[in-house]
Structure 1
Amino acid sequence: MTLDPPVDTRVESVGLDAAGLVALADIGTVQERTVLTGTSSILDIFVLVPGLHLQQKAPGLNAGEHPACAALTSGYVFRVENPATVFYLQRVGRTGQLTHVEVRKVEEPTTWYRSLFLALLPGQEMTFLPIAAYILAVSWGLGVLILLTLSRDWWGLIMCGCLMISRFINFIIIQLRDRPGWTGADEEGEKGDLLILLSEDRWVRMKGYVNDLKAVTSGQWLRREHPLEGWFTAIATVIVYLVAALAGNVEQFGKILLLCLFVGSAGLLALANTATKQLHMHGRVLEVVGKRISYKRRKDLTDELIKETGRDDWALGMGMKPMSQDIKGFRRGTAVIT
């Protein structure tokens, strides 16, 4: 005597043999989430979205840009080397406008439930919509696993299990790579004020304590992979391609579930990314404060900041102000032209 599965899996004949290829879609939702939270969460293993095998490439979202930056308090000119910070500034910057960004330390948890929250969702912004969207994405994955179990689609469960293994490998490697590195000399108690010139005439003014500014602008966000970590990353990537190759063995109902899983999880994670207004990294938070200020010309911005700071060496160094013939002691080779 054969027992029917508790879930009716009969569906109309639809050609979905290539449904597993959706997992290989080159979308950056996982990478963006990794950048915005500054790390990876153990709950990520249940968020199965297309492009999950690209998570280790998250530092490349800045598209190779390292914008010129000037310390308005000292006149020192350098570049923002941290790719995660550059990506966030590109995200919040607007052409022809000055955006104010504040950097501060993350407050230490004082209650057990706050500690539990940070352990399960590290780097998660404490606002309703991004948290709700992310939790729904996790629940979406769990729901599909339950339906595949009830329909006794073991190939479907194997496919999801393989994707979860790939996610778990990436989670471990992100955790290992996400360690604060070199940030320069300690300047405890000093306050800083930076002007950053991004491409497309997007201007950002970043304020905070100097040590906090250094932590998010200098050095690396994720250190380079060790050879062994690179091997495991390759294994995780191959697993995703293997899932795409074997997805034809899944039952028709399971293929529909997998499609719903990929599309639904991607949509929810994209909503969580869009609703996230902060960047968490190395125990610091970057957040836009106040209103953006529009300028008709870059010169207007330069003149205003020179008047406010009482110095123009930073403007000369960034090429925002022409150098007069009577200026002596200024080395042309140190100027950063943007």
Structure 2
Amino acid sequence: MQQDSTSLNGGEYPACGALTTGFVFRIENPATVYYLQKMGRTGCLTTLAVSKANESDGSGPWYARAISLLFSSSNTPLIPALAYGAAVLWSIAVILLMGFSHDWWGLAVVLMLMASRLCNIIVIRRRAKPDWFGALEPGKKGDLLVLLSQDRWVRIKGDVDHLKAVTSGQWLRDQHMIKSWATALATLVVYLAAALVSNVTQFGKILILALLGGSVGLLALTNSMTETLMMHGYVVKHVETSQKYERRLHLAEQLIKETGRDDWAIQMGMISRKTNSEGTMEQRPVVM
């Protein structure tokens, strides 16, 4: 599914207000929006924190460097890491069984599927290199409020530069000619493998079916149990989820009182202003 990664957010680009400056914009990063959708709860304010990832500097024994290529110690808990490792070992076991049973067609099909996956991974990694996050603002603290669909409200705290890295810019750069050819070739290889699977022995077909089903299941387990997002070298993690609010207005009033400003709430449509009889502007809540 690597080629569908840019549609993770389901077409949603939620409004986001900076509680410290009053600016309002939209989050354009599909992966971040998908993570916020996953962590948000209807009628509740979910608080997240952004920090710098503690990644390995490339030193240490060879096996530690090899493991760091598969797993990120900053956002991968033990059980998801074991599930992902089991999927890798499962593939190796199937390859060995294919070789011992001399099922060369089955081995070729498995290797073709692995080659297609490797091609997609290489393209994704090259597209995911950071490009633009706006001007640096070292030392400044940020506080964002995100209004998601289904009345899910998420608050993200951290340094301004860290917040920019996970919310602004382009997550995956556009595919150029060579990358497009590579992904098209990977898709063609999958179709070719499906066409050749009829030549595989019955035992080999059972192994391939078990490999595909088991890999999908283990990968789903890994994704569902990983509750921390790694984005461009920064980690976004869940801090707390508040109790449900009876109205969105109550949330707005609480945050306005905490931050001491309401311009962000006005621009996001959480409250409005009207002119009174004296010709001055007064705050008028939007009841929901």
| TM-score normalised by length of structure 2 | 0.92
Counterparts of residues 117-156 of structure 1 (less than 5 Å): 117-122=67-72, 125-156=75-106
1:62: which partner in 2? 9
Shift in Å at residue 57 of structure 1?
1.7
How far apart are the structure 1 equivalents of 2:4 and 2:248?
A: 34
Q: Deviations over 1:42-81 (max 9, x none)?
A: xxxxxxxxxxxx3122121101110000000011011011
Identity of aligned pairs, percent? 53
> Which stretch of structure 1 is more off in the superposition, 194-203 or 168-177?
168-177
Residue by residue over 1:160-183, the C-alpha shift from the partner in whole angstroms, topping out at 9 and shown as x without a partner, is: 011111111112111211111111
Q: Give the C-alpha shift of residue 256 in structure 1.
A: 0.5
Q: 1:123 to 1:86 in 2, by over 3 A?
A: farther
Tell me the equivalent position of 1:301. Answer: 251
Structure 1 unpaired stretches of 5+: 1-53, 330-338
- Separation in structure 2 between the aligned mates of residue 164 and residue 126 of structure 1, nearest angstrom: 23
User: Shift in Å at residue 119 of structure 1?
Assistant: 2.6
1:124 CA displacement: 6.7
- Within 1, Cα distance between the matches of 2:40 and 2:135? 29
Alpha-carbon offset, residue 123 of structure 1? 7.1
Decide whether the 8 Å contact of 1:67 with 1:196 is kept in 2: yes
Q: Which residue of 2 aligns with 1:80?
A: 27
User: Which residue in the other structure is 2:156 paired with?
Assistant: 206
Write 1 or 2 for the structure with the bigger share of strand: 2
Residues 254-278 of structure 1: per-residue CA shift (max 9 Å, x gap): 0011111111111111111111011
Question: Equivalents in 1 of 2:55, 2:120: separation in Å?
Answer: 27
Alignment partner, residue 200 of structure 2 = 250
Whether the aligned pair in 1 keeps the contact of 2:27 and 2:33 (CA below 8 Å) is yes
1:186 maps to a residue whose letter is L
Distance in structure 2 (CA, Å) of the matches to 1:173 and 1:123: 23
2:60 pairs with 1:112: yes
Q: Shift of the alpha carbon at 1:234?
A: 0.3
Using the alignment, how far apart are the partners of 1:156 and 1:122 within structure 2? Answer: 32
Query: Secondary structure of 2:46's partner?
Result: strand
Contact 2:75-2:235 at 8 Å conserved across structures: no
Deviation at 1:328, TM superposition (A): 7.2
- Answer whether contact 1:125 1:131 (CA < 8 A) is retained: no
CA–CA separation in structure 2 for the residues paired with 1:146 and 1:184? 50
Question: For each residue in 1:212-265, what CA deviation from the matched residue of structure 2 results, as whole angstroms up to 9, or x when unmatched?
Answer: 000010111111111111011000001101111111110011001111111111
RMSD: 1.9
Alpha-carbon displacement from aligned partner over 1:15-51 (angstroms, at most 9, x marks no partner): xxxxxxxxxxxxxxxxxxxxxxxxxxxxxxxxxxxxx
Aligned counterpart in structure 2 of residue 187 of structure 1, from 137, 147, 155: 137
User: SS in structure 2 opposite 1:220?
Assistant: coil
Residues 274-327 of structure 1, C-alpha deviations (whole Å, 9 max, x = no match): 110111010001111123331011000001001111110000000000222259
Deviations 1:90-145 (CA, angstroms, capped at 9, x unpaired): 01111111100111111243662554432332477342101000000101111111
Query: What residue number does 1:35 align with?
Result: none
Query: Which residue pairs with 2:266 in the alignment?
Result: 316
The answer to whether the 8 A contact 2:55-2:74 is kept is no
The aligned amino acid for 1:55 is Q
Structure 2 residue 167 is matched with structure 1 residue 220? no
Q: Which amino acid aligns with 1:101?
A: L
> How far apart in 1 are the matches of 2:275 and 2:264?
17
Give 3-state SS (helix, strand or coil) of 2:273's partner: coil
Say if 1:183 and 1:200 are closer, same or farther in 2 by CA, change over 3 A: same
Amino acid of the structure 1 residue aligned with 2:47:
H
**Equivalent residue letter for 1:100:** T
Aligned length: 278
Aligned to 2:285: none
CA distance in 2, matches of 1:259, 1:282: 35
With over 3 angstroms needed to count, the CA separation of the structure-2 counterparts of 1:322 and 1:290, relative to structure 1, is: same
Q: Which residue identity is paired with 1:102?
A: A
Q: For residues 108 and 241 of structure 1, what CA distance do their matches in structure 2 show?
A: 38
Aligned residue type for 1:314 = W
Q: Find the residue that maps to 1:280 and give its secondary structure.
A: strand
Distance in 2 between residues matched to 1:127 and 1:108, nearest whole Å: 15
Pick aligned residue for 1:171 from 121, 141, 144: 121
Counting only pairs closer than 5 Å after superposition, residues 13-92 of structure 1 correspond to structure 2 as: 54-92=1-39
CA distance 1:311–1:143, change in 2 (3 Å): same
2:36 is aligned with 1:99:
no
Q: Is the partner of 1:322 in helix, strand or coil?
A: strand
